[in-house]
Structure 1
């Protein structure tokens, strides 16, 4: 686990009218959640679905508080953004204030709370489907050649990175590539009746509207967690059909596999002491902006590229891609 805060802002939450975005004050080490709220606000599909929910719940209901804070972040009213209510709600659900959190873990927890606490299960499923990566897992016994398969899904791609130079495309290919499982990693084969060496792999059944990528920069070794600041390049546009040509299931039927980057969660500092910020794209004009708690400023793609790593401890940790290139004036596609 990693990341927290190096400093605490005391200015009031405000909307920056120059950029059409709201900054969020740091409140009891809340940079992690503040950053995720910026990315969720930029994922307008989530806010649109929550607006359709006839919300019911109390101060412990995470999706209810999320609906309120996202509505306030997109609104023009000068009132205080109720992100403190959201933070206290998370605290009541064991994502504590005054504690350093990992952004990917908190993000997945928020999605789980939406599924558990929304009384409109159909809408909750639509929100989950925005991020749902359906996969077919297969395990082939290297002794008898029997194959076991099962379907599952992910809400983000957890990509292992090497302690050298990496590209997002290579990391995705490695994640989907077949791996041999031997020695202590052997799996039970029902046909052989014992644990045998095997080959494990994934095939893609469907890709989501929103592709969340987690670059696993934190590594545990002998009880100590360290951060990898090595270089990981990533493109503004990503075409899955070119990256992983052999990883599609025969049942894969989607025509559109092109994605556009719209948000980057950035971690600065070390594994045990750090700070989260975000680069997000404006919904209307598609320009980049940088959100550092209450401070919002315009940015450029070149500045986003500085988060590749190697020369700085401010490195991309999570990437948010949207399928297609639909802009504000077009009807968003909400199905997975």
Structure 2
């Protein structure tokens, strides 16, 4: 009945953690190492967020985790011998052990559950069909119980999670009590009519129903219908108390399912004594440690879970102090993340990636998309509404309220702050760029210092650090965020409480390997070594580029661009690790080039254009930079020359003087094509054409040939255009220019 529930927002949970996939070079990207939190997430198999939330809860239930790991191969068998051994191999607990060990020790950001779901016997894409998380909790426990029959762990689920409820009917006439005892795995509490968990429990276990009138009770002792009272009490509490909040109901009037988003609060500490039949001798104090959350509506959504790290297995940091990380494309071979220390850095990065200008709505959407956190949730508390933030940083961002547009200011003071800019500032200390950088750095430090002072007293102690496990994503949260899950479309659905008296051994603190067998630990560590080797090999492979080294002696400058000389070996290929410095790059060039390499030379990036070859950035002056920091990639052409002339002709380099390949038509049937620098003014262009056609400058007229709506037209270039450059005139490669001698034309 739950086959297609809660699938709308599945993509939200996995968007920032892509599976390993082939890169453009055909390389598989190895799994990422763990983030600073030190905890691993679980990959979503398509619609298994409900399962992932429960598995993380089981993992961070210390008693369940340790009972499971104490079962050795003499009881469970070995996975490697499941097809050959005559003894029973208990696949489910073995796969749970394997998964938990990886979640605790494997150096990966997220772990797959495919082997575990296979052990459940899920076939025909059953894992892609969403279940209700309460239903799955019972199915999962039943599967574990069945798999442990005949082992010392046969009572694991019953010992930890089973409690007892007694239902009572008391005859008002003779006082006879009729009882019916039943086990429970979880207590269910309705939302409607209850403002808190305590209210809900009170209505179930303290309030009594009067059986009178047409609803009288037939007492066997009185042998007639009599008035009676009906109620339920808890007889025995489990060590781990599970509470299900019944947010999903069915409206029989409208004949449709709906989600109750009303508020119901739940405490961090819960005393269950008032709901017990007899609290004497029972430990009734519980502490909250897991909250399974549903986001969405009655027919679609997503589960994630807040968990308290009881044993301190993760590295918790104040979420307000965490660096925002903006993921980049792994297949490009670039670094995994651009570190953004503040919203200033983050927004600069996003704007610079989108032509330096975006609407505020689109920018907010990008912030949420790239970081998984909205502006209001992540920054509003410390920086205010986003429009106020832009007004505060008006020297960096220009806000156009009328068009709802934000622009990254284009000046020297902010240019060097763009995280995706491959250039590096060489400004001396004390110039405008350095001053601006220092000012922004001071602002960042001051803001962090103020936040640290305001939150220092409120920071949680060890054992009370909370994390949000959202499939592959794990991040620290503050305890106060639990209150946001009392109501709404994103709200608590299952609560897990643990007896307060369950003390943890000192050896378990900060020890993810506690109770795990040496054999399992060795397997995971061996896998970590293999992963590290794969990452190193991948980094080496993805950073290995092949460049072409071109020597100036094999070229001439002709028709406005560099052209290779006939019958010359124009280049040699060089393999190089782009993580190494320019200085190392020059050493390699000297080794492979030998006598072809002059004593003093410049290196320029060279690109092929329609007009020929053109030189761009000079890279030989940036000795301490890595090659990957500059505009050099696989297949790039590098030109070696003296920096001034090729053969005897002076050559200009840079994007500003790129040659445009133009065809000049003159006379009755004459034309030629060649490159002209796009920064030439029309006056200079006219003088060049005069020299090439022998038409006196004073006699020369020029017309630009354009084709519009299938009709060819010649538009005169007038004296008003003389100061404009070819670029400003929007000339492009392949354009035709008609030139005439106006005296002959008459």
- TM over 0.5, shorter chain: yes
Q: Judging changes above 3 Å, is the alpha-carbon distance between structure 1 residues 323 and 290 closer, same or farther for their aligned structure 2 residues?
A: same
Q: Would you say how many aligned residue pairs link Structure 1 and Structure 2?
A: 324
Q: CA offsets, 1:82-124, max 9 Å, x none?
A: 4111223335389922212111110111111122221335412
Structure number with bigger Rg = 2
Taking the aligned partners of 2:225 and 2:146, their CA distance within structure 1 comes to 36
Which among 286, 290, 313 is matched to residue 259 of structure 1?
A: 286
Between stretches 169-178 and 261-270, larger displacement belongs to 169-178
Q: Within 5 A, what are the aligned runs for 1:1-336?
A: 1=2, 2-4=5-7, 6-8=9-11, 9=14, 11-12=18-19, 16-53=34-71, 54-56=75-77, 61-78=91-108, 81-90=111-120, 92=122, 96-141=126-171, 145-162=175-192, 166-177=195-206, 178-180=208-210, 189-191=219-221, 198-222=228-252, 223-241=255-273, 244=274, 247-250=275-278, 252-254=280-282, 256-282=283-309, 283-284=311-312, 285=462, 286-309=464-487, 312-324=488-500, 326-327=503-504, 329=506
**Retained in 1: the 8 A contact 2:257–2:298?**
yes
Q: CA offsets, 1:10-59, max 9 Å, x none?
A: 62476634223211111121111011111111112112111122324869
Q: CA offsets, 1:185-233, max 9 Å, x none?
A: 7766544667876432222222121111111111122242111000011
Q: CA deviation at 1:144?
A: 5.7
Taking the aligned partners of 2:288 and 2:97, their CA distance within structure 1 comes to 24
Task: Give structure 1 stretches of 5+ with no counterpart.
Answer: none
Taking the aligned partners of 1:98 and 1:23, their CA distance within structure 2 comes to 18
Q: Judging changes above 3 Å, is the alpha-carbon distance between structure 1 residues 187 and 105 closer, same or farther for their aligned structure 2 residues?
A: farther
Taking the aligned partners of 1:115 and 1:26, their CA distance within structure 2 comes to 25
> SS of 1:123's equivalent?
coil
The structure showing larger relative contact order (alpha-carbon pairs under 8 Å, at least 6 residues apart) is: 1
**Retained in 1: the 8 A contact 2:40–2:109?**
no
Q: Judging changes above 3 Å, is the alpha-carbon distance between structure 1 residues 137 and 110 closer, same or farther for their aligned structure 2 residues?
A: same
Taking the aligned partners of 1:264 and 1:196, their CA distance within structure 2 comes to 44
**Retained in 2: the 8 A contact 1:60–1:89?**
no
> SS of 1:238's equivalent?
strand
Taking the aligned partners of 2:200 and 2:497, their CA distance within structure 1 comes to 16
Taking the aligned partners of 1:207 and 1:152, their CA distance within structure 2 comes to 12
Q: CA deviation at 1:331?
A: 7.8
Taking the aligned partners of 2:147 and 2:231, their CA distance within structure 1 comes to 34
TM-score, length basis structure 1 = 0.84
**Retained in 2: the 8 A contact 1:35–1:278?**
yes
Q: CA deviation at 1:137?
A: 2.1
TM-score, length basis structure 2 = 0.40
Taking the aligned partners of 2:245 and 2:150, their CA distance within structure 1 comes to 32
RMSD: 3.1
Task: Give structure 2 stretches of 5+ with no counterpart.
Answer: 20-30, 83-88, 313-461, 510-746
Q: Judging changes above 3 Å, is the alpha-carbon distance between structure 1 residues 168 and 328 closer, same or farther for their aligned structure 2 residues?
A: farther
Taking the aligned partners of 1:225 and 1:181, their CA distance within structure 2 comes to 31
Taking the aligned partners of 1:184 and 1:62, their CA distance within structure 2 comes to 51
> SS of 2:129's equivalent?
coil
**Retained in 2: the 8 A contact 1:140–1:198?**
yes
